[in-house]
Amino acid sequence: MNNQNSTQIKSWYEAQKNGQWKTLTNPLSKNSILHSQLNNFLKTIYQKFRQQKNLPRDFKSTIEFKGFQGWQDFPISTKMGHCDSQLKTTWKEIPNGQKVEGSETYSGSLSIMLSQKLLLSKLGMPELISDYQENSQGINWKSLPVSFYELIGTIAHEIAHAYQFLVNEDEVKSQCESTGDRDSQGKLKYPQLASEHTALTREIQTMTVKLPEYQKFKNWWEGKEGVENLLEDASQKVQKTIVLTTKVAKETNQTSTTQKSELTVEKAGKEMSDWPAWVFPVGIIGGIFLLGGIYWIFKKTNYGKAKN
């Protein structure tokens, strides 16, 4: 990894750590314009997929975006979305109380929630960084993808759940490989439903990226329209955190260097103080004799030269 990328990863971590990612994204999570954009986009994908699957009109269901969750209340910290069903099925009945086959009418609502972590990509941070560590061998960290494409994948995943809720008649209507029910040995209890969900998710994603509404939504998500002030405030908070962190790091390094120098001098002084008391006078006398010897040799040499 080059220095630019490592610096960027560190800056994201400093802005996100200790739950700061939630503080940064809270204003966006409550923004009505952002809610409206996502709600319209979800409805569009849902309706287009219904048409692609040729669902009859008696499937009178609606889908709504119900906002963002921090997801601390879910057992899986990496959970990116959730789909809830309030669908009802009614039948026509003949006088003897029997249901008329083929007279089913489906109504009710479906709702989708998304993880608030996905809003980090709206702030230009496509990863949630955790467990960042620097050591002599380099830099280590953990990363949770929260990019725009993760957002699209999550939306497709949840609409696949919505579709399963809509068309499956068994008591257990929807399951997926990531959070599906498992037995004591860790195997999926409903592998067929999970496999169906995976195929549906892939089909919805393929359809979505071809829609003109997709490109329009992508351009909006990557821009600032309607949320300029919120993005500016969040950006200032990020920069303030990075500047403060850099300043603290420099001061820490300077303090460490000063302390190291002071410790070196102190250590040298301590080592000298540990020498025996006779070392100093003996050293001084030895020095005098050494200087005297040098002087005597010098005089003798010059005397010889003068005599010749």
pTM of the shown model: 0.74
pLDDT at position 305, please? 47
Read off the tokens for 121.
């990509």
User: Could you tell me if 213 and 44 are in contact, meaning their C-beta atoms sit under 8 angstroms apart?
Assistant: yes
Rg of the chain on CA atoms, in Å: 36
- Residue type at 18? N
Distance (Å, whole) CA 161 – CA 259: 60
pLDDT at position 307, please? 45
* Closest CA relative to residue 59, chosen from 112, 113, 111, 109: 109
154 Cβ neighbours under 8 A, 6+ residues apart: 80, 81, 114, 115, 118
Beta-bridge partners for 90: 105
pLDDT at position 265, please? 46
Weakly modelled stretches of the chain, pLDDT under 70: 1-4, 56-60, 71-77, 91-95, 100, 102-106, 240-308
pLDDT at position 286, please? 62
